[in-house]
């Protein structure tokens, strides 16, 4: 069995609620008591994977500072957040007020429509699923701590539950929440979704 411990990175401070996507922004790792609780909950001796963005690396550093011994992280670009293209750095309300011509089509089908110069959530599901299959084959009977993003974790749930991308978009994935997925012989079990520690 391969046991996936999906951890969403720490929150990215943004009072304006802008679309972060693949922008490389810092996160807030100041909640030391929460990181201490996470460090107690996560397994020792696990493989460590992250998407390559600063907010994931900072989250890992905060876990190490809280006492969790971790190996060097593998950077897996397939676990990046959805690319929202030219919408990144803007707010949804801002785009609506500007009457962005691509916005109506996106909201009609947010799972398969692509933001301008970006990618669809269905494409995220495909790339995440391919990477999960590869890791399952390469690391059987391992714990894998993966520090990633809300969209990535929703995509992993779509793969594990074999559900449509549109259905997976309904999952809430809070910052620093844990989602546990177990894989064995091509079958999946969901041990927990969006679990907050404390």
Report the first-to-last Cα separation within the chain, whole angstroms: 27
Predicted TM-score (pTM) of this structure: 0.96
Mean pLDDT (10-residue bins), the chain, 198 residues: 97 92 97 96 97 98 97 98 98 95 96 98 98 96 97 98 98 98 95 91
How far is residue 66's CA from residue 176's CA, in Å, rounded to a whole number?
14
- Residue 15 confidence (pLDDT): 82
Look at residue 197 in the predicted model and tell me its pLDDT. Answer: 87
Tokens of 117: 């110069």
Question: What does the DSSP 8-state code read for residue 18?
Answer: B
Q: For the chain, how many structural domains are there in total?
A: 1
Residues 153 and 169: their CA atoms lie apart, in Å, by 10
- pLDDT, position 107: 96
User: Residue 30: how many CA atoms within 13 Å on its side-chain side?
Assistant: 4
Question: In this structure, are residues 80 and 121 in contact, taking their beta carbons and an 8 Å threshold?
Answer: no
- Report the alpha-carbon distance of residue 57 to residue 63 in Å, rounded: 10
Size of the chain, expressed as the number of residues it contains: 198
* pLDDT on residue 186: 87
Q: CB–CB of 117/51 below 8 Å?
A: no
In the numeric block, which tokens belong to residue 176?
A: 């620093």
| CA pair distance 77, 9, nearest whole angstrom | 15
Structure tokens that stand for 2 in this block: 């391969």
Coil, strand or helix at 170: coil
pLDDT at 16: 85
pLDDT at 21: 97
- What range does the domain containing 80 cover? 2-195
Domain containing residue 86: CATH number: 3.40.50.1240
């Amino acid at each position: 069995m391969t046991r996936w411990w999906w951890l969403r990175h720490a929150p990215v401070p943004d009072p304006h609620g802008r679309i972060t996507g693949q922008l490389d922004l810092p996160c807030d790792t100041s909640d030391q008591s929460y990181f201490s609780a996470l460090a107690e909950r996560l397994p020792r001796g696990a493989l460590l994977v992250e998407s390559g963005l600063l907010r994931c690396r900072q989250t890992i550093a905060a876990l190490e500072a809280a006492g969790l011994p971790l190996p060097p992280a593998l950077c897996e670009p397939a676990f990046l957040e959805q690319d929202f293209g030219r919408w990144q750095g803007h707010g949804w309300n801002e785009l609506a007020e500007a009457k962005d011509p691509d916005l109506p089509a996106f909201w009609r089908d947010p799972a398969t429509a692509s933001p301008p110069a970006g990618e669809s959530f269905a494409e995220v599901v495909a790339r995440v699923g391919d990477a999960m299959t590869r890791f399952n084959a390469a690391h059987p009977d391992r714990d894998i701590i993966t520090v990633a993003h809300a969209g990535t974790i929703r995509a992993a749930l779509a793969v594990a539950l074999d559900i449509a991308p549109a259905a997976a978009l309904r999952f809430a994935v809070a910052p620093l929440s844990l989602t546990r997925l177990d894989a064995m012989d091509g079958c999946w079990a969901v041990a927990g979704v969006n679990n907050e520690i404390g």
